[in-house]
Amino acid sequence: MNRRPWLLGGVAGLVLCFLYAPIAWLAAVSFNDSRSLSRITGLSTRWYAELFADDRVLESLGLTLRLAAASAAVSTVIGTLAAFGLRRAFPGRGLWTLLLSLPLVVPEVVLGVALLGFCVKLAGVPLGFGALLAAHVAFSLSFVVVVVRSRVAGLDHRLEEAAADLGASPLVAFRTVTMPLVAPAVAAGAAFAFLLSFDDVVTSSYLTGVGSTTLPVFVYAQASKRGVSPEIVALSTLMVAASAALLVAGVLLAGRRARASTFVEPNRDE
């Protein structure tokens, strides 16, 4: 393989083309002056202008951002506490770990139906923001637990013991020693939870009520009724750009905090 680097580069190029060609086409068509999606006649931002003039889009965007922020905050707090709880040995820890990871493999259709029946029919939560928040926390929590727990499992307990020997209380040791070390994982988990909530269509479609349509559900409904229009293409492009920007920011922040934490971690080879 080393004698044929061009072959490896060609395969990598084909894979990248397969992954990103549809997104590149989406971005190119969103600036097309024509309403036709198959014939580019010139560059224009008219579809973005019409998009921001649509009150339904702005309302859906505001609801989606509020929902994603609330879901990420709740999921991050509960998921981080659960990850620290699973750090200690106790009877049934394996079962708790399995139960917390199970939503990762449950189909979203099944999860949506189950949450619709439980939240609305049994708990009496009306369709809308409350039901959507409960659903998004339910499927985002597992991702936060997995991400934070991988970092918590690698912590050196001798650092906390050293802080305690120097007179730090458990709360001070957690705030000044433990939390800075796990902060990159917590930030990554929060970013995952935000993006999962921001992009969700299947589960949200079951729990959306009157006046509480999220942006992905709005896009799906418009595309189903009227086909793929230039406005929907422009909106989809903005969603891809926002998701990519958040993901890149999260990766850069996690890398920066990880590099900073290496200055306080001991050399385990010594």
Q: Is residue 13 part of a domain?
A: no
Q: Is residue 172 part of a domain?
A: yes
- Nearest CA-CA partner of 75 in 197, 178, 183, 175: 197
- Tokens describing residue 70: 């609330």
Q: Output the pTM of the full model.
A: 0.76
pLDDT value of position 270: 42
Q: Is residue 124 part of a domain?
A: yes
pLDDT along the chain (270 residues), means of 10: 73 87 84 77 82 83 90 92 84 82 82 81 79 87 88 80 80 83 85 86 83 84 78 83 79 67 50
Q: Is residue 95 part of a domain?
A: yes
pLDDT value of position 169: 81
pLDDT value of position 67: 92
The answer to whether residues 202 and 217 touch, using CB atoms and an 8 Å cutoff, is no
Q: What is the CATH number of the domain that holds 150?
A: 1.10.3720.10
The answer to whether residues 64 and 198 touch, using CB atoms and an 8 Å cutoff, is yes
Q: Is residue 142 part of a domain?
A: yes
* Number of domains, the chain: 1
Give the domain range for residue 202.
Answer: 54-227
Q: Is residue 157 part of a domain?
A: yes
> How does DSSP classify residue 43?
B
For residue 129, how many other CB atoms are within 10 A of its CB? 19
The answer to whether residues 104 and 138 touch, using CB atoms and an 8 Å cutoff, is no
Q: Is residue 15 part of a domain?
A: no
DSSP 156-216: -HHHHHHHHHTT--HHHHIIIIIHHHHHHHHHHHHHHHHHHHHH--HHHHHH--TT---HH
Q: Is residue 122 part of a domain?
A: yes
